[in-house]
Amino acid sequence: MSRRKRRVLIWVTSIFAVIIIAAGVFLWTLDWNRFKGYASAAVSKATGRELVINGDLQVDLGWVSKLTASEIQFQNASWSKHPQMAELAVLDVELDLWQLLKFRLVLPTVTISQAKVILEKNAEGEANWEFRGAPGAIEPAAPKDRTEFPVVEKLVIEDSELLFTNEETGARFELKLAAAEAGGFWEAPVELKARGQYQKQPLTLSLKGGSYQNLRSAKEPYPLEIDLSAGDVKAKVDGNLIEPLEMKGEDVKLDIQGADMANLFPLIRVVFPSTPPYRLRGQLKQEGGVWSFKGFSGNVGDSNLAGDIHVDTRPKRNVMKADLVSTLLDFDDLAGFIGGTPDPKETVSEEQKKKALAEKKSDRIFPDQEYDLERLNAMDADVRLRAKRILAPKLPIDNLDAKLTLKDGVLRFEPASFGVANGRVEIYSTFDGSKRPSKVKADVRLRKLDLKRFLGDSSFAQKSLGPIGGRIAISGTGNSFRELMGTASGTILATMSGGQISGLLVELAGLDVAQSLGVVVRGDKSIPINCAVFNLEGKDGQMGVQTLVLDTTDTVIFGDGKVDLKEEKLNVILTPMPKDFSPFSLRSFVRVGGRFKDVSVFPDPI
């Protein structure tokens, strides 16, 4: 190269160097706040909403460029009562320009501080994240396909909150994050850890997933493991997702446990009655807005439970369909259906134990826990529960087949059929909780119940038998089981024809001292029953005895009196009329009275 050419090359190189240095100095000293207006205008044009950056806008250029903006406000939909959809104290975003040249969106670091985001739907079904007023930006900019998902190598969220409300369904979710950090690289696993509050319950979340390369590959399932703790609820999800953004899974397992299934409502808007502590494991699946918990099994209190649950989230209110089976059902685990609590000596949460002990000290037996009508109106349901064996030490209940529907706040049993004492008890009931006060109508049918089974393993049982039938038709109004019973009106009827009863029982009731002692000495015997009729009628919780007769070959017992369902008291007088003679036979009344919880039986001489 000649000396002249070398000199020209040096000059050209120097000029380019000066230009690059000058450009660098210009960009380095450039006041990027001048461009806030352009950024706001671009966002406003795309969304139809105003974006305001009240703080500084800074850009550090390089192969990894960094944008920092502070005091950001993004306008909400015009129909919202909240003026801002999003507010951020600080937003830091790093962009890898080298990766962008490879048509790959890689954000090395994203930091969000003191953010408040409001997502909401109005009564007409409009969502504030749908930008209807902006041509070309009608739908949200979130990725629809896993191949479009950006690579965020490190995400940090500090002291932020998210609020979601839906006026159509009444749903409201609140998430507060004190700190959350996620990380992952193109070929390294993604990890997320967060702590804060969800629905005002303490929250911790741990997530482990496959790499971003795995996430953006449409051909491979995405492995995911989630550990969640919210209040008393602990859940673990483990499996492979075919469509991660839609949570469509392949062999995804859910292991969930907690103190009370009713506590799931604030978290997932699915209504369950109050239950003892539970743990269930099964397959979790989502398809077209329908979530399924299939083939699950586990324990609720001292009962085992298995089956399938499907929740359709597409309608205005969630619709649950469930088919549940128990091979051993502890009867008092069902106490939550009427607002009661299980036996504190059995499997219960600490809260239920305290409540049960308080109820035990009370002189009442009807639960006074108010029904949560908001929950009853938040979901529709179609449920079947079958129990092959029931544990109920004080009642001869064998099995259960209950069909339950919930529609527009009206709960129906169609029916709940119990195997009781070798017969059946069928309960057809309607509980209308669509408005206060709630109303209930119940039709209970007793079919061929065996008297012997009600006497348990006592010596009386071997000498007693007979079919019992009857019907209970009552209605009431109130916001708790106690209020419903206190306003109950209707009829209670039970009959028995044919059979036999322990002579000892009859003679003790008749106070025939001589014959009663003779039976004890010589051994018990059976006395044939000609008929037995028990009929109560009344209204507003005041029931009167219309008929009470027990006719045997030895004695006829007549009864009269009242039953006060509101005060939970009864006062019934039994008049024994022995058919045989004994010098010790006392022609006296027998009074049955007191509160339901502590009934006394004592002679009341003429």
Same domain, 268 and 409: yes
The confidence band for 189, taking pLDDT boundaries of 50, 70 and 90, is confident
Does residue 349 belong to any structural domain of this protein? yes
DSSP track, 343-378:
-TTSS--HHHHHHHHHHHHSS--S--PPP-HHHHTS
Lowest mean pLDDT among 87-91, 244-248, 416-420, 448-452: 244-248
Q: Are 283 and 299 in contact (CB under 8 A)?
A: no
Average pLDDT over residues 350-365: 83
Report the pLDDT value the prediction gives residue 21, as an integer from 0 to 100.
Answer: 43
| CB-side neighbour CA atoms (13 Å) of 440 | 27
Domain boundary among 391, 419, 447: 419
pTM for this prediction: 0.80
State whether 396 and 473 are in the same domain: no
pLDDT digits (tens, 9 = 90+) for 495-524: 988 777 665 555 555 444 334 333 333 445
The gap from C-alpha 417 to its chain's centroid, in whole angstroms, comes to 24
| Partner residues linked to 330 by β-bridges | 391
State the total domains in the chain.
2
The answer as to whether 411 is a domain residue is yes
450 shares a domain with 389: no
pLDDT in tens, 216-231: 776 778 888 999 999 8
Same-domain pairing of 504 and 468: yes
Asked if residue 344 belongs to a domain, the reply is yes
User: Is residue 402 predicted with pLDDT exceeding 80?
Assistant: yes
Looking at residue 146, what is its pLDDT?
59
The domain boundary, picked from 363, 389, 419, lies at: 419
Residue 1 has pLDDT above 80, yes or no: no
Q: How far is CA 600 from CA 365, 591, 594, in A?
A: 16, 8, 6
Burial profile 67-76: b = 16 or more Cβ within 10 angstroms, e = fewer: bbbbebbbbb
Q: Are residues 369 and 498 in the same domain?
A: no
Asked if residue 110 is part of any domain, the answer here is no
- Tell whether 586 and 549 lie within a shared domain: yes
Handedness of CA 96, 131, 248, 296 (dihedral sign): positive
- The rounded distance, in Å, linking the Cα atoms of 599 and 123 is 54
Residue 56 lies in a domain: no
Residue with tokens 């639960």: 367
Q: What is the pLDDT of residue 81?
A: 92
Residue 505 shares a structural domain with residue 584: yes
Are residues 333 and 455 part of one domain? no
State how far the Cα of 537 lies from the Cα of 499, in Å rounded to an integer.
Answer: 26
Query: Does 524 lie in the same domain as 446?
Result: yes
What token pair was written down for 18?
């000066």
Roughly what angle, to the nearest 10 degrees, separates helices 503-510 and 513-522? 160
Which of 359, 390, 419 corresponds to the end of one domain?
419
Report if residue 400 sits inside a domain. yes
Q: Which residues form the domain of 335? A: 259-419
277-300 exposure pattern, b = at least 16 Cβ within 10 A, e = fewer: bbebebbbbbeeeebbbeebebbb
Tokens of 231: 């209040």
- Could you give the CA distance from residue 193 to residue 180 in angstroms, rounded to a whole number? 6
* Helix H or strand E segment including 426: strand 423-432
**Could you tell me if 394 and 447 lie in one domain?**
no
373 and 446 inside one domain: no
Q: In the predicted model, what is the mean pLDDT of the chain?
A: 82
Same domain for 568 and 510? yes
Poorest-pLDDT segment among 134-138, 174-178, 470-474, 538-542 = 134-138
DSSP string, 472-505: EEEEEE-SSHHHHHHT-EEEEEEEEES-EEEHHH
Residue 560: both structure tokens together: 């009269």
Rounded to 5°, angle at Cα 18 from 12 and 24: 140
Res 23: pLDDT: 44
Residue 185 falls inside a structural domain: no
176 in a structural domain: no
